Amino acid sequence: MTGTKTNRIRKDASAVAFDWIKYGLLTLTALICVLPFLVIISGSLSDNATVMREGYGLLPKNFSWSAYETIFESPKEIINAYKMTIYYTAIGTAVGLAVIVLTAYTISRKEFKYRNVVSFLIYFTSIFGGGLVPWYLMYTNILGLRGSTFIIWFPAIMSPFLVILMRTFIAGSVPDAITESARIDGAGEGTILTRIVLPVIGPGLATVGLFLALGYWNDWYRSSMFSTSKETWELQFYLYNMLNSATAVSEMSQYANVSMDAVPTQTVKLAMAVVATGPVLLFYPFVQRYFVTGITIGAVKG
Amino acid sequence: MKRFVSLMLVLLMVLVFSGCTAQQVQAPPADDTPEESATQPETQEEAPADTETEPEETPDETGAPELDTSELVTLVFYLCGDEPNDTAVVEDALNERMVEKFNTKLDFQFTTWTDYTTKYNNTLTTGGADLVYIAGWLNYHTLAASGAFLELDDLMNNYAPELRARAGEDTLNMCRVGGELYAVPNLWPEYVSTGISYRQDLVEKYSLPVPDSLENLGAYFQGIKDNDPDQPIYYGTADTNSVDCTGFDIAEALVIKYDGFMDYGYIFDADNPSVLTDYFWSDDFVEDCKLFKTWADAGYWTRSSLSNENNTDAYKNGLTTAIVSGQNPNKHITNMNDFANEHPDWETKYLAYGEVTGYICPSHATQNGTSIVRGCKYPERAMAVLQYLMMDEETNRLVQCGIEGTHYEIQDGLYVNLSEDYGYEAMDTWNLRVNEFKLPQGTDTILQEMFDYYATIGEKCKYPNVNIGGDFSEDYSAYEAERTAVVNVRAQYLPPLQAGFVDDVDAAVEEFRTKMLEAGLEKCREGYLAQWDAYCQEHDYV
């Protein structure tokens, strides 16, 4: 014990003060992030009527599972929505990663004559888009994909941002000399990609993969636009629509005589937030360290 | 290389800009004809080709022409709302009849309640449906005017004469847009008269006046405050996203002395509907704001009220002792049920403002209706099917209530639900309601009593039981910029004024007026009034 103490580099007062400020600020920031979430969790475990009267607190008021009971009342639907989201996330991320890596690798190769043109075309779509109606028309009337599961994951497998991120990453972490030496040794493009490039772009894959996966996990819009049956709904859409139904029905009932049962209460809304974010929270810490390196490397070398 | 790139660039620019302009036209899918016609060139050619064979060759003298049912067809019926779990079960049962009778299958599809306006418009644009639910709040009028729906007069004469006779020309005329009939209304007159819900138990307990005027409402609030200082009096919310007259919802109570509010600060007079009177520049406006200030000063609502969220549970949780906005007979029943479940010792009562002002009317015919989408390949069949859905009791009941014994049963002539998977009007087919077939629910007797009473008041109006402004919809594309500015200014100045959070009402009113004028209120009003005049002339309201 004493040994370690004497060996430690003595800090002067300003360094100690800096530490305090640093830790203080970080604690504060962490609290700002964590407290609202605690309120959500405690709110979701409170009794609705009590919350209405007394407001939210950090600890559950009048503890009750009723909000979760409401959500899981028909577990079949929510489980199905979970399953579908996991399916979309898995297949979308896998296919997306493959397509993005292939594209990024191709346009990062100096041998590819038109790489700048192709890069520009990809970049171009991030600035100009066709708009909602043509987009919808294309998928429904021309491709006839309305109601399929394909349409839910397919449109999001690639985004210009991710392709450019990946290209920059590959260009930065794989020096030309390495690929050139591989070529001299007789490797083809395929071998270079799988044996030389892929092993060193781990952080890049994690970053892009996480972006893709989060995108899929949080998406509700494509279900909203294209689903024709509850079977294909994504989880976020299932939950979001539950809230929207409540709002719509209560609004509707101002103009018409419609019955108003099944309006979720405040605590149910909070419980939904917990149900929807839970898995992502668990999943984040594992990928996060790659995520940080991935983003900064891409950014600096860009 | 360079030349190639620049060539590509030029090509792209051309593509993009032509794309952009086309998109601008398409941006509001609701109110533009170009887009509709762009997507439906074939259908417009097709529609006459279809009708040509029947109605034109066989004029009225022989009655209905034969319906061609040689081919099995699936018609998509697009509805607004969420899909019930047992849709497929009911669809199958229904399609058995439909195939037998019309060689047709119905496929019910739903907007869900997320982004429903966008999806609804998209579906109309892409011709993704045949039969479709329509309503005033889904912009029926604008859509019909832009050619989204088929003209129904001939189709109805030929394929749904019974339905036409049952609906009656007066009701059908209410669905006309530019003289053409585009929708078949539901056949159940309902009153959704706004009013005030208040706590009868408190009225009795503290011997308070019934809030049937603004003075009495004030006395009611004060009486509760005097007797029970801990009781929150009123929970109000601000409205910051419209151009109407009520920025804080307590102002909705003013409808107890005016027949109704219109947009841009106008008051509507049921005896003289074509003339709108200015509210914002009237002394009444100043007086009303002063009254609300006395209420705010008396502490009926909290200083933070303007940031309140809309809370449908406030009344049943005792956060407010009255609701003055957005109430209607059906909500009264909901309140009654809530109280019975959670506070058996409380009692709620309802007073429709029309009972005081004498102007009360049922919902407009276009509140719930059915149209045939332009582009429908089998309009004759769609019309015949619609008549069958509405005029055949068993079929109608199947759609509205599900399968007897599985989804519901009838006890003492009342509807009793048996299954969560298919509730009452589970598919939100409010457009298929028919008075004679509508199976009453337990609470419907109270509702019917209220309706009957309102009908007697409505009889005495200048236009008996007619919802005068019901189908008016404003087209503000010509002054959209000004309107946006007016919305913003109104959102900033009107709510605090009506919530009584200003020190000097007169000065604040002056400021509000000046800012509204600066935002371009005059231009909005001009356009709005012109459209209102045209509307009144079209429907002979003077």
**Test mutation, B32, B114, B419, B467, chain A, max A CBs within 10 A:** B114
Task: For B257-306, write each residue's pLDDT tens digit.
Answer: 988 899 999 998 888 899 999 999 999 999 999 999 999 999 999 988 89
pLDDT beyond 80 at A10: no
For residue A255, the chain B residues in CB contact (below 8 A) are 136-137, 192, 363, 367
| B287 Cβ contact partners less than 8 Å away, ≥ 6 residues apart | none
Q: Are residues A181 and A113 in the same domain?
A: yes
pLDDT band at B529 (very low <50, low <70, confident <90, very high): very high
Domain boundary among A64, A83, A98: A64
pLDDT beyond 90 at A241: no
Average pLDDT over residues B144-152: 92
3-state secondary structure of B182: coil
pLDDT band at A87 (very low <50, low <70, confident <90, very high): very high
pLDDT at B523: 94
- Count other C-beta atoms under 10 Å from residue A126's C-beta: 12
For residue B229, which amino acid is it? P
Q: Are residues B352 and B392 in the same domain?
A: no
Closest residue of chain B to A223, computed from CA coordinates: B114
**Which domain range does residue A206 map to?**
74-301
For residue A259, the chain B residues in CB contact (below 8 A) are 330, 334, 423-425, 441
For residue B504, which amino acid is it? D
Task: For B431-479, write each residue's pLDDT tens digit.
Answer: 999 988 988 887 788 888 898 899 899 888 888 888 888 778 888 889 9
Domain count, chain B: 2
Please, what is the average pLDDT of chain A? 83
β B73-79/B104-110 pair status: parallel
pLDDT beyond 70 at B174: yes
Q: Are residues B168 and B211 in the same domain?
A: no
| CB-based contact A302:A295 (threshold 8 Å) | no
> For residue A69, is it within any domain?
no
Using CA atoms, how far apart are residues A68 and A60, in angstroms rounded to an integer?
14
For residue B138, the chain A residues in CB contact (below 8 A) are none
Inter-chain CB proximity B116 and A248 less than 8 Å: yes
Please, what is the average pLDDT of chain B? 85
| CB-based contact B139:B118 (threshold 8 Å) | no
pLDDT band at B394 (very low <50, low <70, confident <90, very high): very high
**Test mutation, A133, A235, A265, chain B, max B CBs within 10 A:** A133
Task: For B79-104, write each residue's pLDDT tens digit.
Answer: 998 888 899 999 999 999 999 999 99
Q: Are residues B177 and B294 in the same domain?
A: no
pLDDT beyond 60 at A294: no
pLDDT beyond 60 at B8: no
Q: What is the DSSP letter of A140?
A: I
β B180-181/B176-177 pair status: antiparallel
For residue A263, the chain B residues in CB contact (below 8 A) are 312
Copy the structure tokens of residue A71. 């959500």
For residue B35, the chain A residues in CB contact (below 8 A) are 133
Q: Are residues A217 and A197 in the same domain?
A: yes
Average pLDDT over residues A23-34: 93
Task: For B505-514, write each residue's pLDDT tens digit.
Answer: 999 999 999 9
**Test mutation, B16, B108, B312, chain A, max A CBs within 10 A:** B312
Q: Are residues A129 and A183 in the same domain?
A: yes
For residue A256, the chain B residues in CB contact (below 8 A) are 190, 192, 330, 363, 367-368, 430
Q: Are residues A20 and A119 in the same domain?
A: no
Average pLDDT over residues B41-68: 47
Task: For A29-48, write each residue's pLDDT tens digit.
Answer: 999 988 988 888 898 888 87
Q: Are residues B96 and B160 in the same domain?
A: yes
Q: Are residues B199 and B182 in the same domain?
A: no
pLDDT beyond 70 at B46: no
Q: Are residues A174 and A93 in the same domain?
A: yes
Inter-chain CB proximity A245 and B428 less than 8 Å: no
pLDDT band at B17 (very low <50, low <70, confident <90, very high): very low
Of the given ranges (A72-76, A120-124, B222-226, B520-524), which has the lowest mean pLDDT?
A: A72-76
Min CA distance, B309 vs chain A (Å)? Answer: 11
Using CA atoms, how far apart are residues B19 and B321, in angstroms rounded to an integer?
55
Domain boundary among B401, B425, B460: B401
pLDDT beyond 50 at B33: no
Among residues B232, B233, B238, the alpha carbon closest in space to that of B307 is found at B238
Nearest to A224 among B114, B136, B194 (CB): B114
pLDDT at B45: 39
The residue ranking higher by pLDDT, A291 or A146, is A146
Domain count, chain A: 2
The residue ranking higher by pLDDT, B191 or B279, is B279
Task: For B100-123, write each residue's pLDDT tens digit.
Answer: 999 999 999 999 888 888 899 989
Q: Are residues B346 and B468 in the same domain?
A: yes
pLDDT at A152: 92
Q: Are residues A189 and A255 in the same domain?
A: yes
Q: What percent of chain B has pLDDT over 70?
A: 88
> For residue B430, is it within any domain?
no
Q: Are residues A128 and A20 in the same domain?
A: no
Nearest to A225 among B27, B119, B329 (CB): B119
Nearest to A134 among B23, B136, B326 (CB): B23
Inter-chain CB proximity B19 and A240 less than 8 Å: no
Task: For B299-344, write each residue's pLDDT tens digit.
Answer: 999 988 898 887 777 898 888 999 998 888 888 888 888 898 888 9
Inter-chain CB proximity A128 and B312 less than 8 Å: no
Report CA-CA distances (Å) from A186 to A19, A108, A190: 55, 20, 11
Average pLDDT over residues A250-269: 66
| CB-based contact A216:A108 (threshold 8 Å) | no
Using CA atoms, how far apart are residues B243 and B240, in angstroms rounded to an integer?
9
Using CA atoms, how far apart are residues A154 and B477, in angstroms rounded to an integer?
36
Among residues B431, B414, B344, the alpha carbon closest in space to that of B131 is found at B431
The CATH number linked to B56 is: 3.40.190.10
Q: ipTM score here?
A: 0.73
Domain boundary among A16, A43, A64: A64
Task: For B399-433, write each residue's pLDDT tens digit.
Answer: 999 999 999 999 888 888 888 888 888 888 989 99
Average pLDDT over residues A264-282: 79
pLDDT beyond 60 at B367: yes
pLDDT at B56: 41
| B10 Cβ contact partners less than 8 Å away, ≥ 6 residues apart | none
**Which domain range does residue B89 map to?**
28-188+366-401
- Count other C-beta atoms under 10 Å from residue B499's C-beta: 25
pLDDT beyond 60 at A301: no
| CB-based contact B358:B461 (threshold 8 Å) | yes
| CB-based contact B441:B410 (threshold 8 Å) | no
pLDDT band at B58 (very low <50, low <70, confident <90, very high): very low
**Test mutation, A234, A257, A260, A263, chain B, max B CBs within 10 A:** A257
3-state secondary structure of B428: coil
Closest residue of chain B to A241, computed from CA coordinates: B114
Q: Are residues B379 and B514 in the same domain?
A: no
pLDDT band at B19 (very low <50, low <70, confident <90, very high): very low
Inter-chain CB proximity A128 and B20 less than 8 Å: yes
pLDDT beyond 90 at A254: no
Q: What is the DSSP letter of A143?
A: S
Nearest to B113 among A229, A244, A260 (CB): A244
Q: Are residues B200 and B177 in the same domain?
A: no
For residue B136, the chain A residues in CB contact (below 8 A) are 255
Min CA distance, A246 vs chain B (Å)? Answer: 9
The residue ranking higher by pLDDT, B53 or B429, is B429
**Test mutation, A126, A232, A244, A258, chain B, max B CBs within 10 A:** A258
The residue ranking higher by pLDDT, B190 or A300, is B190
DSSP B294-322: HHHHTTSS-TTGGGPPP-TTTTTTTS-SE
For residue B312, the chain A residues in CB contact (below 8 A) are 250, 260, 263
pLDDT at B389: 94
Q: Are residues B246 and B375 in the same domain?
A: no
> For residue A235, is it within any domain?
yes
The residue assigned the tokens 């009486």 is B223
